[in-house]
Amino acid sequence: MNNQVPEEEMEETRVTSCSNCGAKVEFEGESHAEECPFCASPIVIDTGTTKQIKPKGVLPFIKTEDKAREAMTEWLGKLWFAPNNLKEYARKGRKMQGMYVPYWTYDAQSESDYRGQRGDAYYVTERYTTTEDGKTVTKTRQVRKIRWSRRSGHISKFFDDILVLASKSLPKRFTDQLAPWDLSALVDYSPNYLAGYQAEAYSIELREGFDEAENVMEREIRNLVRRDIGGDEQRIDRLSTTLSAITYKHVLLPVWLAAYKYEGKTYRFVVNGQSGKVKGERPWSKAKIAIAVVSALVVIAIGVTVYQYTK
């Protein structure tokens, strides 16, 4: 895909950058945050502007802040070995931040030619000798073999809305777990949707995001080729793919976010603002774990003692 983006699809935005985690957050109007919504570090106000591709679509928030906080409190309440003051933190009902997280979606038509081999399993009966009760005996067993035959073919596949995270502020393993998103609910972007929320500027460029989309397509195409080859095992010797009709969209997806520092380390809690799906990081209370380990050892020790007495 080419890197030329028409001027009318670009916009200048004012962003504030966090010097700790690198998040670039757009603030609505005059509002300023004192701490970074992603890592809870004091934020450095930066009045600079950055030129970015305008969002094309936005997925509006469905879950309210109350619902998101409820989910967080419930999640924290269920944690074993969480430090007590963490639960206190949850009870205080600290504010969660509604954040529009930047993503790219890519569409493409793929045409692939492949050459490979199809493996069909068959079994042969083999004789072998072994020793039983000091005697040598002859037995038979079934052995699996593969018969390979050449295959070639063509796969045609249209990829619709391959979603790629365009931000580095949240760990990918985190945001991946917020999926699935129902992208059929995307609406045309208008700044009105951002009122009351924050939006993050993308930090993964269009081209870089496309590399990841290509990996997703490649994996899917290889699966289709294997299915096309059929049989019990498959080998792909050559695969060449041509992509055409590549289009992209910059979209904003809704996430409720709470970041907090505990003993100098940042922990984050996120809720999918559309589905309500929850994902969090958590601290462990060393004291509680130590008590549990000691209690377990005591129980084992008592058990061993009782066992010895009753013997």
DSSP 122-187: EEEEEEEEEEETTEEEEEEEEEEEEEEEEEEEEEEEEEEEEEEE--SSS-HHHHHTT----GGG-E
Least Cβ distance, residue 43 to Zn ion (angstroms): 7
Binds Zn ion (CB under 5 A): choice among 15, 16, 17, 18: 18
At closest approach, how far in Å is the CB of 202 from Zn ion? 16
| Rounded Cα distance, 63 and 178, in Å | 14
Least Å distance, CB 169 to Zn ion, is: 7
What is the footprint of Zn ion within residues 30-69 (CB under 5 A)? 36, 38-39, 41
Is residue 20 part of the contact set for Zn ion (CB under 5 A)? Answer: yes
Q: Does 21 bind Zn ion (CB under 5 A)?
A: yes
* Listed ranges 7-15, 19-27, 113-121, 177-185: which one lies at the site for Zn ion (CB under 5 A): 19-27
Dmax over Cα atoms in the chain, in whole Å? Answer: 92
Question: For Zn ion, which is the closer residue by CB, 21 or 246?
Answer: 21
Interatomic CA distance for residues 170 and 270, integer angstroms: 9
H or E, element range at 272: strand 265-272
At 131, the amino acid letter reads: T
Give the count of residues interacting with Zn ion (CB under 5 A): 8
Nearer of residues 24 and 118 to Zn ion, judged by Cβ: 24
Least distance from Zn ion to the Cβ atom of residue 204, Å: 17
**What minimum distance in Å lies between the beta carbon of 199 and Zn ion?**
15
- Can you spell out the DSSP letters for 7-66? GGGEEEEEEEE-TTT--EEE--TT---SB-TTT-PBPPP---EEEEEPP-EE----S-HH
Q: Which is nearer to Zn ion, 217 or 258 (CB)?
A: 258
Q: Based on the shown chain and the rule CB under 5 A, indicate whether residue 243 belongs to the binding site for Zn ion.
A: no
Closest to Zn ion by CB, 24 vs 249, is 24
Minimum CB–partner distance for residue 58 and Zn ion (Å): 23
First-to-last CA distance in the chain?
A: 77
* Binding piece for Zn ion, criterion CB under 5 A, among 15-23, 100-108, 285-293, 296-304: 15-23
Nearer to Zn ion, 21 or 79 (CB): 21
Q: Phi, psi at residue 303, to the nearest 5°?
A: -55, -45
Beta 135-165 vs 278-280: how paired, if at all? unpaired
Taking the least distance from each CB to Zn ion, the nearer of 38 and 100 is 38
- Beta carbon nearer to Zn ion, 15 or 162: 15
DSSP type of residue 194: G
Q: How far is the CB of 63 from Zn ion (least distance, A)?
A: 23
Q: Is 260 in the site for Zn ion (CB under 5 A)?
A: no
Query: Left if phi > 0, otherwise alpha if psi is -120 to 50, otherwise beta: which for 161?
Result: left
Q: Does 216 bind Zn ion (CB under 5 A)?
A: no
Contacting residues toward Zn ion, per CB under 5 A: 18, 20-21, 23, 36, 38-39, 41
